[in-house]
C-alpha cells in the first residue's frame, strides 16, 4: 500500500470573511486527512490563504492600508477559523511568505526554461473578482447593457505588455492525460466539462501583469508581476519544499493525491495547473475533486445580501461535531446543497440524538444498571450476534473505499446502516426482558452491542472526533487502541465502564416546539 497521502484545500482569498462555504471545503479535507492518518498513512494536509492580486490590492486600498498590513490582519480570520474548527492541517501557507515567493519564481523559471513562456501584449477582458481573463464570446449580458463574466462579475478591458504561457501547446497532452487517467478529475460531470473545454481549443494564457504592483515579481523582469493564479497554484509545491525536488519530503508527497476545490475553480486546477506542471517537468496531481455549492435558504451566499453564514455562530449554537456531521451528511460530496437551520436541527435530532445517541446511551446504561458497569463476558454467540459483529468489523473496508473516492456522504450512510441494524438488534433481543430469566444471554447481547459501538466510534473519529473520542472513553478504549489497525482487537470483558453520559443533545426549537 502506498503509505503517504497529500491532500490540499484551495487557499482562500483574504479579502472575504470566512463563511460556511470555506469552512466546508477544509472540513471535508480534514475528515479525509484524519481518516487516512487513522488508517496508518503519513499525511500532509495543507490549507492557507491567497494574498496577492488585484482583488486583494483593491480591498486593501478600500480599507486605507498597505496590502501587506491588510493581509496580515485579515488572513488571521482564516487562521482563527481553522483553530475554532480544530482542523488537523499540517501546514498553513500564506502566499506572501518568502518560501512561497522563492518557490513560485522557481516554477516560473522552470516553465520558462522549457520554452513555454514568451513576451507579448495582452488586450482583452479581465474580471478582478474572479482574477480571470475571459474571451468576448464567454461574456454574458449584464444590467445596463454592460457585459459581465459568466460568473456575474464585472469585467474591465485590459491592455498591457504581458508574458504568455503556451497553453495551446498543452491541449493534446492534457487530453491524453485525462484519457489515460479517467479519475483525475472527479466527479465525472466535472471531468466531462473540462475535457470538452480542452477539446474546444486552448488559447495561450497571459501570465503576468504590469498595471498594478501587489504580486510576485517575474524573475528577470520585475516590472511584471506573476498572474495571481500561477503564483497561488504553486503553493501546493511550496509546502513540500519546492524547488528542492530531491528533498525527501518533496519526493514523498508529490504528486498530490487530491486537490479538493469548489466547482468554481476547477478550470484553474484541471487545465492551467497540470499544464504548468507538465511544462515544468513535474507530474500533475493524481486527482482534482470539485465539490458543489452551498446556498442559504435557497439564496446565493453573498456580502451584498448579507446572508453569508458564519461557521463560528453555528459552532456556538450546535457544537462542532453536529456542524461537521450535518455538512458532510446532508449533501453528496460533489453536489450543490442548501443550508437551513431547520434541516440541520432535523439531522441532529434524527441521526445523532435518536439513532447514534440512543444506541450508545441505552447499551451503556443497561451495562451500568444490570451489570454494575462491568462489561459482561459473551458466551454462546447466536447467528444474529455473529451477523452484527461481522457487519461492524467489515464496515472499515467499505467506508475506507468510500473515503478514498471522497464519497463522504456514502461513508456516513454506510456507518449509519450499521447503527440502524444495531438499534433493530436491541429492539428484537430485548435485553431488558431477557435479563430477568437469562442474565448470561443479556450479557452477551450487551457485549455484542458494546463491541459494535466500538467499531462504529473508531471510524467516526474522522468525522466527529470529539464525540467519537468520548464514546471510546466511555468504553475505556486506551489511546493506543484507537487506530483502525486496532479494530481487530476486542473489548475486554470485566473492565468497569464509567457512568454513561449522553453525547448528543436533542434540539427543541420554538418553531417545532417538539421533542423534549
- Binding residues (CB under 6 A) for ligand ME8: these are 10-13, 16, 21-22, 24-25, 50, 232-233, 235, 261-262, 264-265, 293-294, 301
> Could you tell me the smallest distance in angstroms from the CB atom of residue 289 to ligand ME8?
10
For ligand ME8, the closer of residues 55 and 487 by Cβ is: 55
Separation between Cα atoms, residue 351 and residue 363, nearest integer Å:
17
Residue closest to 126 by CA, chosen among 146, 145, 143, 148: 148
CB of 73 vs ligand ME8, minimal distance in Å: 16
* Least gap, CB of 340 to ligand ME8 (angstroms): 14
Nearer to ligand ME8, 12 or 214 (CB): 12
Smaller CB separation from ligand ME8, 267 or 482: 267
Asked if residues 11 and 50 have their Cβ atoms less than 8 Å apart, the reply is yes
Query: Quick one: which of 70, 245, 242, 224 has its CA closest to 160?
Result: 224
Helix (H, G, I), strand (E, B) or coil at 41: coil
Nearer to ligand ME8, 106 or 261 (CB): 261
The whole-angstrom distance between residue 328's C-alpha and the CA centroid of its chain comes to: 9
Helices 20-38, 67-84: crossing angle, 10 deg rounding = 60
What is the SS3 assignment for 222?
strand
Question: ∠96-97-101 over CA atoms, to 5°?
Answer: 80
Shortest Cβ contact with ligand ME8: which residue? 21
Q: Which is nearer to ligand ME8, 177 or 293 (CB)?
A: 293
Q: How far is the CB of 24 from ligand ME8 (least distance, A)?
A: 5
Q: Which is nearer to ligand ME8, 268 or 370 (CB)?
A: 268
Q: How far is the CB of 65 from ligand ME8 (least distance, A)?
A: 20
Nearer to ligand ME8, 55 or 224 (CB): 55
CB of 232 to ligand ME8, least distance (A): 4
**Cell 513576451, residue?**
119
The counts of H helices and E strands in the chain are 20, 19
Contacting residues for 340 by C-beta, under 8 A, at least 6 apart: 296, 297
Cβ neighbours around 228 below 10 Å, total: 25
To the nearest whole angstrom, how small is the minimum distance from the Cβ of residue 112 to ligand ME8?
21
Q: What ranges in 85-159 are assigned the alpha helix state H?
A: 98-113
| Closest distance to ligand ME8 from the beta carbon of 205 (Å) | 15
C-alpha cell at 182: 479517467
Nearer to ligand ME8, 188 or 336 (CB): 336
Provide, rounded to whole angstroms, the least separation between the CB of residue 343 and ligand ME8.
15
Is 101 or 497 the residue whose CB approaches ligand ME8 more closely? 101
Q: Which of 171, 351, 367 minimizes the C-alpha distance to 275?
A: 171
CA-to-CA dists, residue 166 to 203, 269, 275, 307, 376, angstroms = 8, 17, 9, 41, 70
Pairwise CA distance, residues 104 & 207, whole Å: 12
Distance, in Å, from the CA atom of 300 to the CA atom of 396, rounded to the nearest integer, reads: 37
Amino acid at each position: 500500500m502506498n503509505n503517504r497521502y497529500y491532500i490540499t484545500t484551495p487557499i482562500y482569498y483574504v479579502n472575504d470573511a470566512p463563511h460556511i462555504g470555506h469552512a466546508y471545503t477544509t472540513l471535508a479535507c480534514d475528515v479525509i486527512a484524519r481518516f487516512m492518518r487513522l488508517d496508518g498513512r503519513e499525511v500532509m494536509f495543507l490549507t492557507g490563504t491567497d494574498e496577492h492580486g488585484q482583488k486583494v490590492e483593491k480591498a486593501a486600498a478600500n480599507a486605507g492600508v498597505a496590502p501587506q498590513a491588510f493581509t496580515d490582519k485579515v488572513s488571521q480570520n482564516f487562521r482563527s477559523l481553522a483553530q475554532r474548527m480544530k482542523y488537523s492541517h499540517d501546514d498553513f501557507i500564506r502566499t506572501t511568505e518568502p518560501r512561497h515567493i522563492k518557490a513560485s519564481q522557481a516554477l516560473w523559471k522552470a516553465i520558462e526554461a522549457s520554452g513555454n513562456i514568451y513576451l507579448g501584449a495582452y488586450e482583452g477582458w479581465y474580471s478582478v473578482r474572479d482574477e480571470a481573463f475571459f474571451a468576448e464570446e464567454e461574456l454574458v449580458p449584464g444590467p445596463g447593457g454592460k457585459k459581465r463574466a459568466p460568473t456575474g462579475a464585472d469585467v474591465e478591458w485590459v491592455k498591457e505588455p504581458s508574458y504568455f504561457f503556451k497553453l495551446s501547446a498543452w491541449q493534446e497532452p492534457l487530453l491524453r492525460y485525462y484519457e489515460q487517467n479517467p479519475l483525475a478529475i472527479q466527479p465525472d460531470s466535472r471531468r466531462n466539462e473540462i475535457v470538452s473545454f480542452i477539446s474546444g481549443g486552448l488559447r495561450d494564457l497571459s501570465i503576468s501583469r504590469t498595471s498594478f504592483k501587489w504580486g510576485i515579481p517575474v524573475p528577470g523582469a520585475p516590472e511584471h508581476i506573476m498572474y495571481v493564479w500561477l503564483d497561488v497554484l504553486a503553493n501546493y509545491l511550496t509546502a513540500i519544499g519546492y524547488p528542492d525536488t530531491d528533498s525527501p519530503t518533496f519526493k514523498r508527497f508529490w504528486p498530490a493525491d487530491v486537490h479538493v476545490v469548489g466547482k468554481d475553480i476547477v478550470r484553474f486546477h484541471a487545465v492551467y495547473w497540470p499544464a504548468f506542471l507538465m511544462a515544468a517537468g513535474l507530474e500533475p496531481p493524481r486527482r482534482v475533486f470539485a465539490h458543489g455549492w452551498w446556498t442559504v435558504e435557497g439564496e446565493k451566499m453573498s456580502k451584498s445580501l448579507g446572508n453569508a453564514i458564519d461557521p463560528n455562530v453555528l459552532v456556538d449554537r450546535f457544537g462542532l461535531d453536529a456542524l461537521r456531521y450535518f455538512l458532510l451528511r446532508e449533501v453528496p460530496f460533489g453536489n450543490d446543497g442548501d443550508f437551513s437551520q431547520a434541516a440541520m436541527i432535523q439531522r441532529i435530532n434524527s441521526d445523532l440524538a435518536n439513532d447514534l445517541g440512543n444506541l450508545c446511551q441505552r447499551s451503556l446504561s443497561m451495562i451500568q444498571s444490570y451489570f454494575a458497569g462491568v462489561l459482561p463476558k459473551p458466551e454462546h454467540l447466536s447467528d444474529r450476534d455473529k451477523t452484527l459483529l461481522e457487519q461492524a468489523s467489515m464496515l472499515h473496508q467499505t467506508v475506507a473505499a468510500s473515503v478514498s473516492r471522497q464519497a463522504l456522504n456514502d461513508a456516513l450512510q454506510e456507518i449509519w446502516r450499521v447503527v440502524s441494524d444495531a438499534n433493530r438488534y436491541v429492539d428484537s433481543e430485548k435485553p431488558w426482558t431477557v435479563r430477568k430469566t437469562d442474565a448470561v444471554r443479556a450479557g452477551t447481547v450487551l457485549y455484542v452491542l458494546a463491541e459494535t459501538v466500538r467499531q462504529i466510534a473508531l471510524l467516526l473519529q474522522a468525522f466527529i472526533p470529539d464525540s467519537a473520542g468520548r464514546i471510546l472513553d466511555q468504553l475505556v478504549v486506551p489511546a493506543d487502541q484507537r487506530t483502525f489497525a486496532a479494530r481487530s482487537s476486542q473489548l475486554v470483558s470485566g473492565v468497569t465502564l464509567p457512568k454513561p453520559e449522553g453525547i448528543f443533545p436533542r434540539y427543541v426549537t420554538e418553531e417545532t416546539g417538539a421533542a423534549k
